[in-house]
């Protein structure tokens, strides 16, 4: 059992290091890697450094209230566990293990369609709420059956991911032989099998858990979908805005749209029935070169205009990151890699440690800010780059001259929608 308590593990980066030692390269890089040159993945985390705090000194904050409400459910933490596919590869019964840790901490677990445990078993494993994340893998009829199982299990929200018309160009997966390793052909697998043999403890647990998982929530005519390269399956089953009509009719509950990255898509999501949107670029795993999600958050908040709740994921590694997102206006955030590193490092103990690291850091940060409740966090506690502030003020878009000056001083590009507004006004 890997140690994940202090002083061995004091932050998420330490959990990452433990997971890297325990997991085969192909599995670790599935968690750790992004698309293309991985610029967007890196910027998702780095960009939090561009936001600085403005603390209130000499303010007594003996206790800090971290409770918030998401889609009518009160949770004890301002972060949820994001959907992470194939978690059963990281630890035996991985999705159930992570869901149980989320429930024990008083927050929500989001189960991926592409998981190795059934939605029924995951919901039974936790005392907390479970959201079900929907891909249309297998087609409409298969997805409808999955929705019905999620309803029967008691999932409280459906998360529809809209940013996967194809899988991203994940170069680490290619180098590690992911496609070859799941092919089942011995001679095809042989050049890559050594990375499993190099992790005998992981391999023993993997085999005792039944070996290569199936996608237990994608039920085809012959049973659960075998584990395989899902790129082709995603391309054949992309979700479009037109699909939301039958998805709404089947689900009859709150829908969260994940993968919103522009004001236009935020408005589309609301028009198609979303009660919440997640500002997300899939953790930098889809289109490399898109803006980090924290930069996009002001644009989406302005477009939503309180018609739906706005959540954010991407790059969360510290509790202070969570606080910055809440100050800008997110209702809560989702953590993906942060909890997946914990799961890969030490199972339940690792997930619990990742949650505790973030929780403790949020409390510490808020006490240092002089703020006693997450509900009181707002823009007065931070300073954002000028371009972000202009993006948030849609009633007074910057002039084209102001945009040029921001660019000349090295500011990050403004959202295209703001530039379009400036052009319309300056004609």
Q: Which residues are catalytic?
A: 282
> Residues 177, 181, 187, 193: is their CA dihedral positive or negative?
positive
Round to whole Å and give the CA distance between 45 and 321.
Answer: 9
Q: What would the two tokens of residue 77 be?
A: 């933490």
Round to whole Å and give the CA distance between 342 and 352.
Answer: 8
Round to whole Å and give the CA distance between 371 and 382.
Answer: 12
Q: Looking at residue 1, what DSSP letter applies?
A: -
Residue 7: cis peptide before it, omega within 30 degrees of 0: yes
The answer to whether 128 and 96 are in contact (CB under 8 A) is no
Round to whole Å and give the CA distance between 14 and 16.
Answer: 5
The answer to whether 11 and 357 are in contact (CB under 8 A) is yes
Strand partners, 109: 81, 130
Q: What would the two tokens of residue 199 be?
A: 């992790």
Q: Looking at residue 261, what DSSP letter applies?
A: -
Q: What would the two tokens of residue 389 be?
A: 């502030």
Round to whole Å and give the CA distance between 182 and 303.
Answer: 43
Number of helices (H), then strands (E), belonging to the chain: the values are 20, 14
Reduced DSSP (H G I as helix, E B as strand, rest coil) percent helix, strand, coil of the chain, to 5: 50, 15, 35
The answer to whether 253 and 130 are in contact (CB under 8 A) is no
For 198, phi then psi, to 5°, come to -75, -10
Round to whole Å and give the CA distance between 142 and 132.
Answer: 15
Round to whole Å and give the CA distance between 354 and 341.
Answer: 8
β-strands 109-111, 130-134 pairing:
parallel
Round to whole Å and give the CA distance between 68 and 247.
Answer: 28
For 311, phi then psi, to 5°, come to -110, 165
């Amino acid at each position: 059992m890997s140690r994940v308590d202090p002083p061995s593990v004091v932050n998420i980066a330490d959990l990452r290091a433990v997971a890297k030692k325990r997991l085969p390269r192909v599995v670790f890089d599935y968690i750790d890697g992004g698309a293309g040159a991985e610029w967007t993945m890196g910027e998702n985390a780095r960009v939090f450094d561009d936001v600085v705090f403005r603390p209130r000194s000499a303010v007594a904050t003996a206790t800090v209230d971290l409770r918030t409400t998401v889609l009518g459910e009160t949770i004890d933490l301002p972060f949820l566990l994001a959907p992470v596919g194939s978690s059963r590869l990281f630890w035996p019964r991985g999705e159930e293990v992570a869901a149980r840790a989320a429930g024990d901490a008083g927050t929500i677990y989001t189960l991926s369609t592409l998981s190795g445990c059934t939605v029924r078993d995951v919901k039974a494993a936790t005392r907390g709420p479970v959201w079900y994340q929907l891909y249309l893998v297998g087609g409409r009829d298969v997805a409808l059956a999955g929705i019905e199982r999620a309803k029967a299990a008691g999932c409280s929200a459906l998360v529809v991911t809209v940013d996967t018309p194809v899988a991203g160009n994940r170069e680490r997966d290619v180098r590690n032989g992911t496609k070859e390793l799941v092919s089942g052909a011995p001679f095809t697998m042989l050049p890559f099998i050594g990375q499993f043999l190099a992790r005998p403890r992981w391999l023993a647990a993997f085999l005792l858990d039944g070996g290569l998982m199936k996608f237990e929530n994608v039920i085809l005519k012959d049973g659960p979908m075998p584990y395989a390269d899902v790129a082709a399956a995603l391309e054949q089953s992309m979700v479009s805005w037109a699909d939301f009509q039958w998805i709404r009719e089947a689900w009859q509950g709150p829908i969260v749209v994940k993968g919103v990255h522009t004001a236009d898509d935020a408005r589309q999501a609301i028009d198609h029935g979303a009660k919440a949107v997640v500002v997300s670029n899939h953790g930098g795993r889809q289109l490399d070169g898109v803006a980090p999600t924290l930069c996009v958050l002001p644009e989406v908040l302005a477009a939503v205009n309180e018609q739906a709740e706005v959540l954010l994921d991407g790059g969360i590694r510290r509790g202070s990151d969570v606080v910055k997102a809440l100050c800008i206006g997110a209702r809560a955030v989702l953590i993906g890699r942060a909890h997946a590193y914990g799961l890969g490092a030490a199972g339940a103990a690792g997930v619990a440690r990742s949650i505790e690291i973030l929780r403790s850091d949020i409390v510490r940060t808020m006490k240092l800010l002089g703020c006693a409740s997450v509900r009181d966090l707002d823009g007065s506690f931070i300073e954002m780059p000028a371009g972000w502030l202009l993006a948030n003020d849609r009633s007074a878009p910057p002039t084209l001259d102001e945009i040029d000056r921001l660019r000349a001083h090295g500011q990050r590009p403004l959202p295209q929608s703001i530039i379009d507004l400036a052009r319309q006004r300056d004609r």
